Amino acid sequence: MTYNILNYEDEDDREPYYQEIIGEIQPDLIVCQEIIGNTGYNHFLDDVLNVIQPNDWSGADFTNPTASQDIALYYKPEFFSFISTAIINTAQSSGTRDVVEWVMEHVESGVQFRIYSLHLKASSGNSNAQQRLQEATILRNYLNELPSGSHFIVGGDFNIYSKNFHLLNLLLICLLLQVLIPMANFLIR
């Protein structure tokens, strides 16, 4: 699950809503955008997740990226093991944010995978759309360099304001090719 929790630091009045939504969805992983510092990171874990399901949740190593709003990953250790956190430098100007990468392992299968959370440049208009496209292109190029057979998930706040947006086309075409080419190779055998 990915969830922009809107500048969350320790807002008690919003916590019941987060608890209700997450309680209904019952995810095993949650990537959150717009966490405000360590305070928000810890309070979301303690005041939201561990209220719904006490002691079922952990947080991956938290890093304070380039903007005032941070990104965090929470997971259930019953299902996943945390391996590492890294920053992918996608921020190109003031008001943009780097992508966070977490390497995780699925406990039952032993399969390692990466989770990428992004929060692309907000606001409508051509210059902001171009900024989002630049950020997505940097991430896409990074993903292209992963070892063959790597497993990954990209989630976050894409801030897409139009169905004609080039960013969406870039990501969808690249992801579709990653699915279809291995499938075609499998079917040919």
Q: Could you tell me the residue ranges of all domains in the chain? A: 2-188
For the record, the structure tokens of 22 come out as: 């997450």
109 or 176, higher pLDDT:
109
Q: What percent of the chain has pLDDT over 70?
A: 74
The residues that bridge with 114 in the sheet, in sequence order, are: 103, 152
**In terms of DSSP bridges, do strands 152-157 and 112-119 run parallel, antiparallel, or are they unpaired?**
parallel
**In terms of DSSP bridges, do strands 70-75 and 58-59 run parallel, antiparallel, or are they unpaired?**
antiparallel
**CATH assignment of 2-188?**
3.60.10.10
24: part of which helix (H) or strand (E)? Answer: helix 15-25
Q: Name which of 60, 67, 70 is nearest 38 in CA terms.
A: 70
pLDDT at 176 over 60: no
- Residue 31 confidence class, pLDDT cut points 50, 70, 90: very high
